[in-house]
Structure 1
Amino acid sequence: MSSFKAGRRRRSSSLMYTEPTESLEHISDQAALPNLNAEWVNAKGILYLFVIHWLRNKWKVLIIFKLGAWGIHFVLIVCLKIFYDIMPGMTQEVSWTLTNISYMFGSYLMFHYVRGVPFDFNSGAYDNLNMWEQIDNGDQYTPTKKFLFFVPICLFLVSTHYTHYDLTYFTINLLATMAVVIAKLPMAHRLRIGLFSGQPDD
């Protein structure tokens, strides 16, 4: 146990450190219960359900849909775009750039900055892992992680197209996208930047 604690210590002058692998106790705690924080991300797309019912002597068709975690990204992007479009004096170039920056900031904050689980049902088994590392038990190149990897890239390409390839907007969109995409690469797995995150917990 003391070697595990010593492995977590880092020098205060280090800006980057790698989160060490979990102890056997943490691994058994993680296997004991499902991780509800990361399991919802695997809900794909939009499921349409047609309900036919009888109302006032007529057959009516209701379309009920359940929005999955994959579909919510597109809804968020569309809502951000509409929000920035209704602001007075907003050009399309600025609107697309702000949509890109807002989505990238939210994505980085949710998947790569915040560590742990928002509710206490697994005794802190995931306290030192961010959500990206919790998805699919940290496996790389799963369908969910591929989808979450390509959404920022596609948004970057769309925003670059609608900003008419202007160099200033391109640079801003590229930097925002690179911050999110680099954090999703396997080389950044368990890598922490000390400037943005605190000391690791024991």
Structure 2
Amino acid sequence: LVLLYIFLFYLIHSKVHFLHIIPFFSIPVVWTLTNVIHNLAMYVFLHTVKGTPFETPDQGKARLLTHWEQMDYGLQFTSSRKFLSISPIVLYLLASFYTKYDAAHFLINTASLLSVLLPKLPQFHGVRVFGINKY
């Protein structure tokens, strides 16, 4: 899981970094784009998509749960959950460093981090804020 995740991150960053050839994309913009794209993909795949792509023996109980809620049978603070919680924080720190803590980039990166980190908290397990993604 870790090697696949690092490979996919490198692939995303290299494709976004390719945009640095365009004159108006600076290094801070490239790192902010990498952070936002990563967190958006993580939010969609872990916290929005529900159910399983195959038949499961739980008789449809997983159809109302996101992938994050199904991971490790709902146990909190397992090694895979810790890794998937720490990786956006590390990316946020890298993006903040390379943007030299510019206020606009800092706000965008912080909002992006919070949007993917808050749903991972145990207090939000099974919670649908404002009824979004209830069914």
Does the alignment reach a TM-score above 0.5? yes
TM-score, with length taken from structure 2:
0.90
After superposition, where does 1:55-134 map in structure 2 within 5 Å? 69-87=1-19, 88-89=22-23, 90-122=25-57, 123-134=59-70
Q: Which segments of 5 or more consecutive residues in structure 1 lack a partner in the other structure?
A: 1-68
Q: CA RMSD in A?
A: 1.4
| Partners of 2:103 and 2:132 in 1: CA distance | 29
Cα gap change, 1:195/1:96 in structure 2, threshold over 3 Å: closer, same or farther? farther
> Structure 2: how far apart are the matches of 1:190 and 1:121?
20
Q: Distance in 2 between matches of 1:167 and 1:102?
A: 19
- State the 1:195 CA deviation: 5.8
Q: State the Cα distance separating 1:78 from its structure 2 match.
A: 1.4
Alignment pair present for 1:159 and 2:91: no
Counterpart CA distance in 2 for 1:118 and 1:102 is 24
CA distance in 1, matches of 2:100, 2:131: 35
Alpha-carbon displacement from aligned partner over 1:43-68 (angstroms, at most 9, x marks no partner): xxxxxxxxxxxxxxxxxxxxxxxxxx
The structure whose Rg is larger is 1
Amino acid in structure 2 at the alignment position of 1:78 = Y
Looking at structure 1, the residues matched to 128 and 37 of structure 2 have their Cα atoms a distance apart, in angstroms, of 22
Encode CA deviations 1:74-97: one digit per residue, 9 max, x unaligned.
Answer: 222211211112122221101000
Question: Relative to total residues, which structure has the larger helix share, 1 or 2?
Answer: 2
Secondary structure (helix, strand or coil) at the match of 2:86 reads helix
- Of 171, 180, 193, 2:116 maps to 180
Deviating above 4 A after TM superposition, structure 1's stretches of 4 or more consecutive aligned residues are none
Whole-angstrom distance in 1 between the partners of 2:5 and 2:124: 23
**SS at 2:128 equivalent:** strand
The one-letter code sitting in structure 1 at the alignment partner of 2:93 is L
Structure 1 counterpart SS, 2:85: helix
SS at match of 1:179: helix
Amino acid at match of 2:5: H
**Distance of 1:143 and 1:158 partners within structure 2:** 22
2: CA distance between counterparts of 1:149 and 1:121?
26
Bigger fraction of residues in strand: 1
TM-score, structure 1 length as denominator?
0.62
Give me the identity figure in percent: 32
1:128, 1:149 → 2: CA distance? Answer: 22
